[in-house]
Amino acid sequence: MCLPCVAQDNTFSAPGIQVSILSAQPRGTADGLIFDVHVSYAFAHRQTVWLQGIGLVSGSGEISYTLRNSRILFLDGKAGHELASIPVRVTDVWQTPSLGSPYESTALSAGWIADGQPIVLATDATTAWDHLSTALTAVFGQYVGPTPCRPDDDGCLLAQWTTITRPAEWTQAQMAIMMTYSKTSSGKAQATLVKIYYLLRQAPVGEMLNWDYKIDQSVRNAGLVKLSDLRTRLSNP
């Protein structure tokens, strides 16, 4: 037991360790509450730590993601010893729908479409999540709530359904992105291999509770533009 450690809602402190949840915004879903969180953390004398649900990250920094739990956990390695455990308390409330998860099933049999060949990024595992989530936010022009594909999973990032059409358009379209990533090598340097998958759906404006996964060519074209932009941003950090 770590007697000098202090764990409170949204904060954790111990010798050489400081973690703060800067924001925690709840999202109502049909199968349990999830949080959009922004976390600042510092682990002195550690180059890397393991963030439950994300994987290996640098020993200090900030990270934003959607948490499917009410507690954030840092370890010294995968299945390693606990370094910090922080209970999440709501800091802001968004007016969001009370039902319906914004995330699609991550099973590849659910209809995910592979987009082209994998991309080799000149980055290691400690910066992969930040790079992928930053590119997603830039492409869609807003925070898209990247989350681990499964609780405690590393190497997979899922973005919620995001509108890719203008509000006044008769046909409204949404897109979901899933990216899997793993360590690889590029010459003598460490690198990350990224595979991109996507889903598209559409509905007439005003009827967005009845989505159709049989999409028009115009919707497909709009999705392909987003994918092209995402690939460009990923390949040029």
How many domains is the chain partitioned into structurally?
2
236 compared with 158, residue with greater pLDDT? 158
Average pLDDT over residues 116-129: 86
Query: CA-CA distance, 161 to 155, in Å (whole number)?
Result: 20
Residue 92 maps to a domain: no
Residue 60 and residue 25 share a domain: yes
Integer CA distances (angstroms), 100 to 27, 103, 140, 157, in order = 10, 9, 21, 20
Radius of gyration of the chain (CA): 19
- Is 99 inside any structural domain? no
The residue behind tokens 């020993």 is 59
- Residue 48 domain flag: yes
State whether 113 and 79 are in the same domain.
no
- State the pTM of this model: 0.88
Residue 169, domain member (yes or no): yes
Task: Please determine, for residue 3, whether its predicted confidence score (pLDDT) is greater than 50.
Answer: no
Give the pLDDT score at 124: 80
The answer to whether position 200 is within a domain reads yes
- Domain span at 18: 6-87
